[in-house]
Structure 1
Amino acid sequence: MSDMTFAVLAVAPEPYAVTPLLTARIGIAAVGDEPVHAIALRCQVRVEPLRRGYTDDEAAGLLDLFGTRDRWSSTQHSFLWQHTTAMVPGFSGTTQIELPLVCTYDLEVTAAKYLHALRDDVIPLQFLFSGTVFTKGHHNFAVHQIPWDREDHYDMPVSVWRELIDLHFPNTGWVRLDHDTIKALVTYKSAHGMLGLDAAITALLETAVQDAR
């Protein structure tokens, strides 16, 4: 079997996707003359928070995830973002493929909460590759597994994430609420002649601030 390496070349928003989707361009190199018939590629994408620094504003947004700065040495570990797959067509030597990265803006999800807290700089990612390689072999067909040590690190600009979210949720966010809470908000909105739930929540917050003074 030819030795195989993987490299993340770029990550960009997919402009025509129905839901938020990033596309990672992956370069694949097979060392040797043996052609590859196909690859059933799997990839685990992880976030490595220790590979970058954070402003005080970002640290405040990360409080729920990692606690205060004095605890980060024990709380800031890499964590799973997602699993993704792709079928790689046959090639010889090198090829490039597009790997889909499905995203969510649900702030209850750890990865989305982390990404939302970042203001600038990069998002440190780790791509762990695995899967099945199909080659010709000695009997016209052979199956090999990608070694578990195949990985690459990629620093995705925070601006790429923000561009994706602005594309699908311009000037808005997403918050998950209990059914009873939504029902109460709808009732409050209707009783006060408001046009949307955003106006209802804003009015309640303003009332709470006034009561606190």
Structure 2
Amino acid sequence: MHLNFEILKALPKTQCLSPTLNFLVQVHYLGKECLDSALLQVRVMIEPKIKDYSLSELKRIERRFGPPESLNSILWCEKMLLLNRINSIQTVDLPIEIRDDHESAMWYYFSSLEGGEIFLKFFFSGICYLLAEDKITVRSIPWSSECSYLMPYEIWKETLFRYYPDSLWIRLDHSLYERPQDYQLSHRLPSLQTALERLLDKEQTETRRIG
């Protein structure tokens, strides 16, 4: 299948319910038949080995993943992408939501970084419909169709901070949420954040004393 892909750029997508990055994908079709449409599955992988890290980044990565040299590709997401009729070149949007799943490898990795560029690989697979002499032919697109993109870390950070300026959401079970809330009320603290700060400071002080 004569399809080539290229990521032109990534920008924060506005007017979304949650932080979303919009990747601009340019599709090159080199076939002779008319490509009427295509339905693609897109798999986005993070390649952590292709990056230079600062000492503080390496410490955070090792604490979360183990030795950096053992860190393999990380699945970011899988998306569906629809292409309309292509004569030679078509540019389409690929919006990718930044899910606030703080337990995912993707979130652990991104939150360990301070700057630089993140090496991403995009894999494409699916089916396309070719039109010739009023007949439609179905062809498959193998996973070997791929492209790469160096995404600036600041783009990810900017996208996230547009929705959560100076703060983040953390999901907690109701029973767990009630514990710091009870601590806040019993100690007459002004906010839940103050209660969490005091509990963490208390834990750090106890750790230093034992150590």
Q: TM (normalized to structure 2)?
A: 0.91
| Aligned counterparts of 1:114 and 1:191: Cα–Cα separation in 2 | 37
TM alignment of 1:51-130, pairs within 5 A? 51-67=50-66, 71-73=67-69, 75-130=70-125
Structure 2 residue identity aligned to 1:82: C
1:189 deviates by 1.5
Q: CA RMSD in A?
A: 1.8
Report which of the two has the higher share of strand: 2
Instruction: Note if contact 2:130-2:136 (Cα within 8 Å) is conserved in structure 1.
Output: yes
Residue 135 of structure 1 is matched in structure 2 by 130
Partner of 1:49: 48
Runs of 5+ unmatched residues, structure 2: none
Sequence identity, in percent? Answer: 25
After TM superposition, which residue ranges in structure 1, 4 or more long, deviate above 6 angstroms? none
1:173-194 CA distance string (max 9 Å, x none) = 2334343321111111122333
Deviation, structure 1 residue 139 = 5.5
Cα distance in 2 for partners of 1:7, 1:13 equals 18
2:34 paired with 1:38: no
Is the Cα contact below 8 Å between 2:44 and 2:78 reproduced in 1?
Answer: yes
> What TM-score results when the alignment is normalised by the length of structure 1?
0.90
Could you list the runs of 5+ residues in structure 1 that have no partner in the other structure? none
Q: Distance in 2 between matches of 1:149 and 1:6?
A: 11
Paired residue total: 208
Output the CA distance in 1 between the equivalents of 2:19 and 2:193. 22
